[in-house]
Amino acid sequence: MRRLAIVVFGWWIGFMALSANAVDLPDFTELVEEVSPAVVNISTVRRVNDGNAQFFGNAPDMEQIPEFFRHFFGDQFPRGGGVPREAQSMGSGFIVSHDGYVLTNNHVVEGADEIFVRLVDRRELKATLVGADAKSDLALLKLDADDLPVLKVGKSSKLKVGEWVVAIGSPFGFDYTVTAGIVSAKGRSLPNENYVPFIQTDVAINPGNSGGPLFNLDGEVVGINSQIYTRSGGFMGVSFAIPIDVAMDVMTQLKETGTVKRGWLGVLIQEVNKDLAESFKLDKPRGALVAQVMKDSPADQAGLQPGDVITGFDGTDIGLSSELPHLVGRIAPGKKAELNVVRNGREIKIDVMIGQLPGESGSPTVAPAKAEAQGNALSLDVRDLTDAEKSQLQVSGGVLVTNIYPGPAASAGIRVNDVISSLNNHEVKTVEDFNSVVEDLPKNKSLPVLIIRNGNPAFIVMKVD
């Protein structure tokens, strides 16, 4: 009897200990009730051919898979001929302003012909894509609505590893699914994702969660759920979110110009291991080792050399080489930054004027000549073509569009990286030609513009107000 009493007493003590620990676990109910109205479901329609449909089969839930696999594993699926059809994909997002701005992932809406946003009250609104940035995987949408609920924006820089976080989204189409976990790590660099210091969590994220918010326990958005590491195609305990500090900077630029400008240093770097640290007379492995300096780049103009080890950037210590692109990318082109560099065992400081990250076409970081948007009636920035670009396009001249602002050019459908070779039947070979023609453009008349887009010439019509 005494032995039984001891066993019962021991069980009771264990139960009370578990109960005490359970009391310490967070309760997410109030948080979820408060923030859910500003979380949205995003669905897209994209007109494709039947080649993909034959590959994926006809199961209804398989429509979610192309977007998911394309983002995490690259575009591995066949694209054949066939009868055009409408493919649908699904993701999540959240409202950031009362007048209808919505943040989500770029891969959720990329290539979409139509975008629809469903609110918690079951309203479904058609959304307009304001701008998207593939490098950060972010997109900004606009709804034609007012007095919408919004989320509080926190500071991802204040997150601590081990802190509780909550995700809300629509995995597999199950709206307003809540999952929770902890911050596993900060500042993660992923392959082909050089400009985002990801937040790693163990929050369950699946197809359809993409673009949804990640909250701290104060109900503030601290990240945007974007990617997972998986070998099975499903959640395996490792997920990644874009820090909200990065997202808000990108959103501001997308809202103002529709594009994102990033800082560029112009060096190829590598990690510093123990042996390299010793050979470069470092006290421990740290910093980013400069393997190559690109000719005429900001780094070249500042005097950086191969073999330099960058240990600090604008007051921030560099522990791993992967940290440097994140820091450089967030500096606005044209601003100065101070580098801490170890050269031949001596620490020196070097000032560098940050350039603009070249585009996909490999355009140079500094435009030879530029027409500022506020200085012309078309509301766009242009620069002269380089000799290499003229040769590639087989033209004798033209101006490359580098930025688009709300105005006549944007309304006409002109895009960044278009080449304008004729304006109102006047040949345009240089920025000087462009400025001269723009000054004399007639108002409120339809004007022909000859552009070259992706190597193909085409006329479009523009009207200057």
Q: What positions carry a catalytic annotation? A: 107, 137, 210
Give the single-character DSSP code of 176. Answer: T
Token pair of 377, please?
A: 């009636």
Distances (CA, A) of 53 to 74, 108, 285: 18, 19, 51
**Residues near 81 by Cβ (< 8 Å), separated by ≥ 6?**
49, 51
Secondary structure (DSSP) of 327-348: HHHTSPTT-EEEEEEEETTEEE
Pairing of strands 370-371, 124-133: unpaired
Distances (CA, A) of 335 to 258, 355, 375, 385: 21, 8, 22, 24
**Residues near 131 by Cβ (< 8 Å), separated by ≥ 6?**
139, 140, 253, 254, 255, 257, 258, 259, 260
In contact, 453 and 415? CB cutoff 8 Å? yes
Secondary structure (DSSP) of 198-256: EEEE-----TT-TT-EEE-TTSEEEEEEEEE--SSSS--S-EEEEEHHHHHHHHHHHHH
CA dist., res. 240 & res. 243, Å (int): 9
* CA-closest candidate to residue 208, choices 437, 43, 417: 43
* CA-closest candidate to residue 233, choices 421, 47, 61: 61
